[in-house]
Structure 1
């Protein structure tokens, strides 16, 4: 099936399947904060209007300074980007022609950007249903590798890898002159998160990618940042187009960083809803990954393949993310974002309908 390679924009999914998009539907395919953007953003929105007549700061100095102060690192260790997608592309250009290992299942953009820049892509496949990451098992893949892409917490499983394992991988990669690209797009949904950013001062091979669009529900603005040693940031930043980030995104980013209570509120909400969903799935013989964030993989343990469930949900106006383009998953799981209480309840209602038929 020639299905879209990303979530969101469900009209393209339905078109590829030869189906009509329902008048009413719930899109579970995009992993965005269900609480929406911080209220302060709406309050200040009209104030941002005057900025559209001014060129944005190409060095994003104010936002870099705020992030650097928050993370207690040098502003020279930060590069602001037009969303995670641009940052992944810049890193792939920096790695052009190298052997790149991708820990799978994982975000498809690593491979796509790597291939576009003549990288040799190799998979290190984690095995379902627990998708455990092991230093011993990954070691053979690192031979002659220029970089390792690791998404933590992982997209699409939602699983957080142990700190000791991740650090041991970074250490081993450093010995082998291999960069570690650690994608932390969903780090701020974790309740007990231990930051890897202090390690950029210890490991010159560590590149951290963070998104600001997921937690703050601003994917239309496109905003994220890289954290790495200043020398690495200087090299990668030379590949970035001038005025890459628009003025409104920069202002929104500064405002979002002030909303610590909003982040805590989100974390509590996600944890409670995830537990409610997990209880329901166990009771009704569905398998859910051990997610720690705002999305999860799910499958019906009564079905070997999930195609029929996928089609059933779509026809009911429930839109999950397919997993056909995640190596190792091959469509045998469905990914769902955690949405509002009512929307999550609707999902459970439709899954009960399915269970009565199967």
Structure 2
């Protein structure tokens, strides 16, 4: 269905932490805690000696291509995944774009800013927010979906997403959180057999580089060329290029894999604790696969304000199309932080 926004598409989790200057424990932003690691900070700092020269992205681009087993012509480095959404909206000839919601709102915001009317497919709680490819209009010539999806934490089967591919259609899959999934199961990154496929990856979430802005696009060479023509000169800084090259190295990929298993264990601990509040009407969307969980809770807006007063920031859900004020997104944190949050949640709900 073609819609007007109706939601604050520009609201993101960082606003929950910044508002009113309070010192808050952050469960609102999906960047992995305790990152970037010391070795990565040191590597980025060492790149500063080269700031007098213009950025040269060839080595980083080749490293990303090698990481996914692709030729460099299928890779474009961007200033975070957000820049990629803007490039797609501005550079591609699109007549009927469609976004599968609930999901990260920046793709739709970028399309609207570029003058497009945007159709939506709203996945339903009753279906576990899972994709039914038959629900996507045949004439949509650009389709955007996240996997695993922010904020639902649903991991869609790669085969289901691939079924959305059509001649003449660009299929954009936002895999910003895929490296938090053990084994990156259901990933489409690196696939060249799906027509019109564009995969977006971000290095900001897992490595704690949101302030540096680094991500990349994987797509057919002709699509990469169109997007590159729309980029300004030197769009990715020298420190960000250094980070990209380092984060796709063999040792870094092994560290990412270990972190994915830790996140899965920490998420299980969070979900187990949340289920203690089912008597208060709390429901967890599952199975969750990302470094965050989505919960439905009566009077969630009030609970969110109470949690804030107790020192905890969580992400409101009503800015995501398809959700309302009864939804909250919670970032996965370490066991100690989660236990503190669960205790605060009990107090916010009037327990004890």
Deviation at 1:257, TM superposition (A): 1.5
- Structure 1 pair 46/325, CA: closer, same or farther in 2 (3 Å)? closer
Secondary structure at the residue paired with 1:159?
coil
Q: Which of 151, 160, 164 is the matching residue for 1:156?
A: 151
Deviation at 1:4, TM superposition (A): 6.2
Within a 5 Å distance, the mapping from 1:127-276 to structure 2 comes to 127-128=124-125, 130-138=128-136, 141-143=137-139, 145-170=140-165, 173-174=166-167, 177-192=168-183, 193-199=185-191, 201-258=192-249, 259-276=252-269
Deviation at 1:9, TM superposition (A): 4.1
Cα deviations by residue, 1:44-87 (Å, 9 ceiling, x for unpaired):
34422202222101xx1101111111111110000000001101
Can you give the 5+ residue segments of structure 2 that lack an aligned partner in the other structure?
Answer: 1-6
Secondary structure at the residue paired with 1:238?
helix
Q: C-alpha distance in 1, partners of 2:78/2:8?
A: 30
Q: What residue in structure 1 maps to residue 329 of structure 2?
A: 335
Q: C-alpha distance in 1, partners of 2:88/2:60?
A: 21
| Aligned residue pairs, count | 338
Deviation at 1:253, TM superposition (A): 1.3
Taking structure 1 as the reference length, what is the TM-score of the superposition? 0.89
Q: C-alpha distance in 1, partners of 2:8/2:134?
A: 36
Q: What residue in structure 1 maps to residue 349 of structure 2?
A: 355
Q: C-alpha distance in 2, partners of 1:248/1:74?
A: 23
Deviation at 1:96, TM superposition (A): 5.2
Secondary structure at the residue paired with 1:169?
coil
Is 1:43 matched with 2:42?
A: yes
- Structure 1 pair 237/132, CA: closer, same or farther in 2 (3 Å)? same
Q: C-alpha distance in 1, partners of 2:142/2:188?
A: 17
**Regions of 4+ moved over 4 Å:** 1-4
Cα deviations by residue, 1:290-327 (Å, 9 ceiling, x for unpaired):
21110111223xx2x41111111111121111122211
Contact 2:10 2:109 in 1 (8 A): no
Taking structure 2 as the reference length, what is the TM-score of the superposition? 0.91
Q: C-alpha distance in 2, partners of 1:153/1:90?
A: 22
Deviation at 1:205, TM superposition (A): 0.9
Which stretch shifts more, 336-345 or 233-242?
Answer: 336-345
